[in-house]
Amino acid sequence: MTDKPIFVTMPSLAPLDEYVELLKQVWESGILTHNGPLVQELERQLCNTLNLPHFVAVANGTIAIQMAIKALQLKGEIITTPFTWIATVSAIQWEGCIPVFCDIDPQTLNIDPAKIEALITPDTVAILPVHVFGNPCDVEAIESIAKKHNLKVIYDAAHAIGSTYNGRSILEYGDISATSLHATKILNTAEGGGCITQDEQLNEKLKRIRFFGHNDQKDVVEEGFNGKLTEIHAALGLANLKYLHNILADRREKYILYLELLSNNPKLSFQHSSKGETNYSYFPVIFESENLLLKAVEQLNAQNIIPRRYFYPSVNTYTKIVEYQPCPISVDISRRILCLPLYWSLSVDDIRRIANIINTLF
Ligand code: T4K
């Protein structure tokens, strides 16, 4: 047993002195927020690193989804996945839209494109899939359905910085992608997020929505709110961004090691990627039954190892806030899936130990 708990994740943090060096600029300028120089620099560097045309940095990933819905002026039904964090669905509802749940593909754990069309009604305005655990959705199939039915596409790319599709950042796809820079994500600003679009005018609109609907002259030209990221958060993002490639490579190695250690276990199965390349941001394991999962959690917890049941329960069953709609695959998977610890400072020995605890259970 370890003294310190091993959590499902730990933030990747740059050396403190590199962060402090950036903070000195904030102390010197006195600019703490309102699209200051460090926010702009973070946006520029994210565009360069990920080869994106634009990046609008915002306060968190949830507000990024809300801003995307607002910018596209959506009112009506939005087809989304129930296998997600509650934020995907609460953002839809906060923007006055209705979530319609489409079941998932049991292999990729993403929305199943083959099930989308049956859910389209005259009130459908958009599709909002999630690149679950960084695994890219089948963006081509989704785009062709959207084109055929004249629907907008917003990707919840909260997990997906560093994931690619056809060699391009997955954040380039859809009318808008919304990502998260939360402490638990591959790249973090403690709290933070971003909206990404290819469309110049939409990009300008997103910037206005982030800042109360102000234009450059501070006139209020449309409905907006406060979605700003602070300079303190942007400084952390800039410090951490230098290490993004190392972190991605490290996750990939650790993910592959887990797979090697666990893939012969007949009681377990794993997320499959479709066409794109994941960023390996989580290591989800699907157990043969919920009972086995609960046993694994008990054994791991006894050793001070704290995995997490992402995503459980399936969001279509949150009947206090959504109308129940059946999605049997998502409900089944959500009961049997567990994310094992995976982060920069996790040692290879700990991964071997965790895999060993699981393998010796059965
Ligand atoms: N869409 C999707 C698909 C999402 O998954 C999320 C968020 C969003 C949208 C919305 O993005 P944000 O608005 O959050 O930017 C975490 C995160 O709060 C949340 O960002 C994330 N998804 C979700 C999947 O997980 P919890 O409840 O698991 O956090 P917590 O506090 O239990 O942390 C997990 C482990 O991480 C802890 O055991 C220890 C470690 N940790 C956590 C924090 C916050 C640290 O070491 N340091 C920290 O500061 O929610």
Rounded Cα distance, 58 and 10, in Å: 22
pLDDT at res. 275: 82
Rounded Cα distance, 282 and 357, in Å: 19
Backbone angles phi and psi of 131, in degrees to 5: -80, 90
171, 184, 233, 330: which to mutate for ligand 1, most atoms within 8 A of CB? 184
The long-range contacts involving 209-212, CB below 8 angstroms and separated by at least 24 positions, are: 209/67, 209/70, 209/71, 210/35, 210/56, 210/58, 210/67, 211/34, 211/35
Write down the mean pLDDT value for the chain. Answer: 97
Give the residue carrying structure tokens 């001070």. Answer: 304
The rounded Å distance from CA 132 to ligand 1 centre is 14
pLDDT at res. 133: 98
Out of 3.30.300.130, 3.40.640.10, 3.40.50.2300, 3.40.1350.10, the CATH code matching 16-241 is 3.40.640.10
Q: List Cβ neighbours of 260 (8 Å cut-off, separation of 6 or more).
A: none
Residue numbers of the chain with a pLDDT score lower than 70: 1-2
Q: Whose CA is nearest to atom 41 of ligand 1?
A: 10
Tell me if 60 CB under 6 Å of ligand 1.
yes
Tell me if 203 CB under 6 Å of ligand 1.
no
pLDDT at res. 1: 63
Residues carrying an active site annotation: 185
- Return the domain boundaries, the chain: 6-10+244-361, 16-241
Q: DSSP code of 31?
A: -
Rounded Cα distance, 106 and 126, in Å: 23
Rounded Cα distance, 155 and 139, in Å: 9
- How many CB atoms sit inside 10 A of residue 296's CB? 23
Q: What is the pLDDT of residues 223-276, one digit of tens each?
A: 999 999 999 999 999 999 999 999 999 999 999 999 999 999 999 999 998 788
Amino acid at 340: L
The rounded Å distance from CA 144 to ligand 1 centre is 32
Tell me if 158 CB under 6 Å of ligand 1.
yes
Tell me if 80 CB under 6 Å of ligand 1.
no
b/e burial code for range 194-223 (CB count within 10 A of at least 16 → b): bbbbeeeebbbbbbbbbbebbeeeeeeeee
Counting every residue written for the chain, the total comes to 362
Rounded Cα distance, 83 and 92, in Å: 15
Q: Whose CA is nearest to atom 5 of ligand 1?
A: 85
Class assignment of domain 6-10+244-361?
A: alpha beta
